[in-house]
A = this chain, B = another copy of it.
Amino acid sequence: MSVHSVKLVTIGENLLASNDQAAAHNRDRLSEARVLALNLMASPGAGKTSLIVGLLGALQGRAQIGVIEGDIAGSIDTEKVVAAGAYDAVQINTGGNCHLEANMVERALIDLDLASLDILVVENVGNLVCPTHWALGEHLKLCLVSTAEGDDKPIKYPEIFAISDVIVLNKMDLIELVDFDRDFFYESVRALNPQAPIFEVSCRTGEGLAAWAEWLLSRREELLCVSPS
């Protein structure tokens, strides 16, 4: 569309290649420590932190979970997940950056006791666009979307749905109140990504969280060759 965009893309390619290297390094470290890393991406307010809190409840006593919280500003989410039982949590403030990058995660990993963790959830900055281009070293990309955002998010933000390994639809308790066409949503997601599982949850009521948490544990076993506990 614009000369500016073209310039940004050219410059971006070098940065992205360098980012991919750092991400591969992070992934190696995490795999070696048998820590399944999840890159949790969503709009602001879709319920990212609530989903982590739900996971902590669902896997209590069965998995040690660490969290890296990425935010423009503030540490409110880190406080929440620690209170909810996270084994360890690190806050990254990006100071205006609209997404996390691999070297930010690399730095945060220094502060985490990886040997004690089973799962690491990296909560990205709330944004359906920019995080899609920046690998962090995750094993799985999760796209979280809420019924309150409307059923047209896959059509408007196709890339994040296309590249995600799993999609979670939150705020199912509100679905009757917000004109959300479930069939339309599923058809739109399937056109972009035929194979990713879709989990329907309500972090408010707890509905669906156990099934999603079990799936995550089984993915850890498969991807990291860990025996079932």
Contacts and interface: CB of A to CB of B under 8 A. Distances in A.
A97 B15 contact: no
Nearest to A74: B155
Interface string A90-116: 001111111001011001000000000
A156 B71 contact: yes
B92 A1 contact: yes
Interface string A138-164: 000000011011101101111100000
Contact of A72 (B43, B129, B149): B129
Contact of A94 (B1, B18, B146): B1
A171 interface: yes
A191 interface: no
A8 B94 CA distance: 13
A167 to B, nearest CB: 14
Contacts of A223: none
Contacts of A44: 43, 128, 149, 153, 156-157
A76 B156 contact: yes
A72 B159 contact: yes
A45 interface: yes
A104 B1 contact: yes
8 contacts: A5-B95, A45-B149, A45-B150, A72-B156, A73-B155, A98-B130, A126-B128, A129-B130
